[in-house]
A and B are shown apart, each in its own frame.
Chain A
Amino acid sequence: GQNIDQPTEMTATEGAIVQINCTYQTSGFNGLFWYQQHAGEAPTFLSYNVLDGLEEKGRFSSFLSRSKGYSYLLLKELQMKDSASYLCAVNTGGFKTIFGAGTRLFVKA
C-alpha cells in the first residue's frame, strides 16, 4: 500500500529551530512536496525535492533521502506566524500525488 507518516503535533519556541519528519512508502517516487496550511486556509507550496540532499530557501530547508524513504522540513528562527500544519506529499508517478495527514506546529513565545 501507499503510506506517508508524519508526527501529529509538535511544539517549539519562538526563535528556535524545529525539524518535521516525513517517512513514506509508495509504489513509485517522482518528487516530494512540502506545503504549509494555516488554520482555515488552503495549503500553500513551500518546497520540492526530487534528488537526494538539502534544498534551502530562506528560513526553510527540506531534505530528502530516497533510499530511506525519508524527508524532513527544517524551520529556523521560528516566528509565531509559523504556527500552522505542514503537509508532506509524494508524487508517485502515474498522475498520483498522495498527502500525509499533516503535522500541526505550535510556536510559543
Chain B
Amino acid sequence: EAGVAQSPRYKIIEKRQSVAFWCNPISGHATLYWYQQILGQGPKLLIQFQNNGVVDDSQLPKDRFSAERLKGVDSTLKIQPAKLEDSAVYLCASSLQDTDTQYFGPGTRLTVL
C-alpha cells in the first residue's frame, strides 16, 4: 500500500514570496491533516479535512495560509506572503477516520530567507 506522498521535499524562498505544498493521502483515508513542525517542537495542527470539508482550522493563520482538498483526495497548502517565522517542516498526514492512527508523509522543509 502506498504511503502519504508530499512534494516538494525542500523549498527555499525569500520572505514575501508565495509557496505551495501538495499532499496525496493514502487511498480511502477520509481525514487529512496539515501540520507545522518547528525544530524541537511537536507537530501543530494547521487544518484538518474530513473528506473535502474543513473540520478544524482554528490554528491556521488565515491572513496568509490557505488550504483546499479537491474532491476529497489530494490537498494543497499555500502560504502567501511568507514570513521568516514560517520556516518549518510542513507535514501532511491521513487517517481512515479522525479517531484512527495517522500516517505521515515525509514532509516539506521550508526555509524562508
Contact = CB atoms under 8 A, between A and B. Distances in A.
B107 interface: yes
A41 B43 CA distance: 12
Contact of B91 (A42, A93, A96): A42
Contact-size category for B: 20 to 34
Interface string B90-113: 010000001101111111000000
B42 A102 contact: yes
A92 to B, nearest CB: 10
Contacts of A98: 45
A45 B43 contact: no
B99 A30 contact: yes
Contact of A91 (B40, B56, B99, B106): B99
A42 B48 contact: no
Nearest to B35: A99
Given A31-B99, A48-B101, A95 B106 contact: no
Contacts of A99: 35, 42-45
A71 B45 CA distance: 22
A11 interface: no
A91 B102 CA distance: 11
Nearest to B104: A42
Interface string A6-34: 00000000000000000000000011010
A54 interface: no
A101 interface: yes
Contact of B41 (A30, A44, A91, A102): A102
A107 interface: no
A44 B93 CA distance: 10
Contacts of B56: 95-96
Interface of B: 31, 35, 40-45, 48, 50, 55-56, 91, 98-99, 101-107
